[in-house]
Chains A and B, each alone.
Chain A
Amino acid sequence: MKRFFLLPAACMSFCMGVNAQDVAPATGEQQQAMLKNIAALSGKMKSLTCDFEQVKEIAMLSEKMASKGKMYYRHDNRVRWEYVSPYAYTLIMNNHKILLQSGGNKNVIDGKSSQLFQGIISIMTSSINGAGLTDSKNFKADLYWGEKRREVVLTPLQKEVKQTFSHIKLTISIKDYSVDKVEMKEPGGDVTIIQLLNKRFNEEIADSKFSID
């Protein structure tokens, strides 16, 4: 638990930004409460269906790129991340198999074969069920407490993922402890912000949504 109290220097500037938004490092008691509530949600969440809006801020150009789509999650390690605008692109994760589909182009890869893809899978599932909090092999987790929301800052520990993301911030609803927003910061200064909207829990999702064949 000690690690939750320590604020690494590398994250200092980022966390100062966090503090400016009315959250503060969680106390031991608050951490226990957060972990308990997130674990409780994860335990009873069999599926999640939602819309998402993604904005990528490109530091070098001072520009933003927006996209949106639909996300389907099932607790048996299945995720469908489907962009519908401004382009069609689908990522399906079915256990360790990953399908990437762009237009008529399809590619199936084994997530086990790439540390980067394993990291991306971890980030995706963490964003949905909070698994990153207990994934001490892949992430260092710092927890923050605010009146209107809770936040978790995940710092990747694996080399390949660290080269891609300097940290990932999850904004958590105090209503149901589900993740409302994911911010992924890259070493070069770019930020990708994904908002999960219209969340529906435990609806039936057909197997075909996660079909890789």
Chain B
Amino acid sequence: MKKLQIVSSALISVWALLFASCASFRNAPAEAPTSSLIFSTEKTSQYHVQITTNRRTVTGVMILKHMDGEWRGSLMNEFGVKAFDFAASKKRCTLSNTAAMLNKWYIRKTIEGDFYFLLWGATQHKRGKSLQRLPEGALLLKNEKRNMTYLFQPIGL
């Protein structure tokens, strides 16, 4: 348990340094978990992202595109400073061009797992993880093991 706390704490610390914007937790209305593919394979999507732990909230922007049978994307802060690129095939999600502060194996593993669940795994039961559809196309991913939530709000819809 202590190890989990350390990982979670380290993860959010570096996120905070990179993205550094803070707020209180916003509760999203509960809805049934989705069981369908939720991102458009036809066009590039952009989302405002808010990541929250029990300590703080950080924000950024995600761009997502379906290419060659896999999801590829990039996450950055609003100022344009990149956190990482990602590519999620049906088998796994991998990060690349990861910002130095995030480039630790335990952080990559957590993010890769959560983004794989977001992009491919929502149709499967995954213990400790859930994905909810919210009004106006927003999505809420919860990682109970790390006590983290990711709120994705579409940009430009």
Contact = CB atoms under 8 A, between A and B. Distances in A.
Contact of B85 (A56, A60, A86, A164): A60
Nearest to A88: B78
Interface string B107-123: 00000000000000000
B57 to A, nearest CB: 6
Nearest to B85: A60
A109 B18 CA distance: 11
B22 A116 contact: no
Given A120-B81, A188-B97, A105 B61 contact: no
Interface of A is mostly: strand
Interface string B121-157: 0000000000000000000000000000000000110
A81 B72 CA distance: 29
Given A63-B44, A109-B20, A163-B99, A188 B63 contact: no
B63 A63 contact: yes
B17 A114 contact: yes
Nearest to A164: B81
B22 A105 contact: yes
Interface string A41-65: 0000000000000101010110101
A188 B96 contact: yes
B26 to A, nearest CB: 8
Contacts of A86: 46, 155-156
A187 interface: yes
Contacts of A60: 72, 74, 85, 87, 96-97
Given A109-B20, A190-B97, 17 more contacts: A56-B80, A60-B97, A61-B63, A65-B46, A65-B63, A83-B78, A86-B46, A87-B78, A89-B59, A89-B78, A100-B19, A103-B59, A116-B17, A116-B101, A163-B99, A187-B97, A192-B80
8 interchain residue pairs of minimum CB distance = A105-B23, A107-B22, A188-B97, A89-B78, A192-B80, A102-B59, A100-B21, A163-B100
